[in-house]
Amino acid sequence: MIKLNFPRELRLLTPAQFKYVFQDPQRASSAQITILARINQENHPRLGLAVAKKHLKRAHDRNRIKRLCRERFRLLQHQLPNYDFVIVVKQGIGQLDNQQLFNLLDKLWQRHIRLAQKS
């Protein structure tokens, strides 16, 4: 049975883990969001989020974006390759509604899946 939870092991927690991804990432991006990825030594993918106050001033807006990104990752975690992913938001992310953000994230996750299969 496949578990669709999001435990602590599936998260990037330390600055060193984020730095590792930022050093030499594979990128999948759109105008509002970028997903950086780098292969890890774990048996599962991990997720980190970088949602800057610069792009979303209010905390509840930042929390909504983070919640939706985590939810999409949680549902797709068993299809994703064993990479460390960092989602970086850009200007204009606040104008997307939930369904638009889900569609955008799905498109970017599929791009990373294809990139991983090629390499």
Give the residue carrying structure tokens 């938001």: 89
Query: Nearest-CA neighbor of 55 among 87, 92, 86, 28?
Result: 92
Q: Which residue has the higher pLDDT, 55 or 119?
A: 55
User: What local confidence, expressed as pLDDT, does residue 60 receive?
Assistant: 94
Mean pLDDT of 60-89: 94
pLDDT exceeds cutoff 90 at 1: no
Residues 86-117 pLDDT 10s: 999 999 898 999 999 999 999 999 999 999 88
* pTM of the model as a whole: 0.93
Residues 44, 11, 7: CA angle, nearest 5 degrees = 80
pLDDT digits (tens, 9 = 90+) for 21-51: 999 999 999 999 999 999 999 899 999 999 9
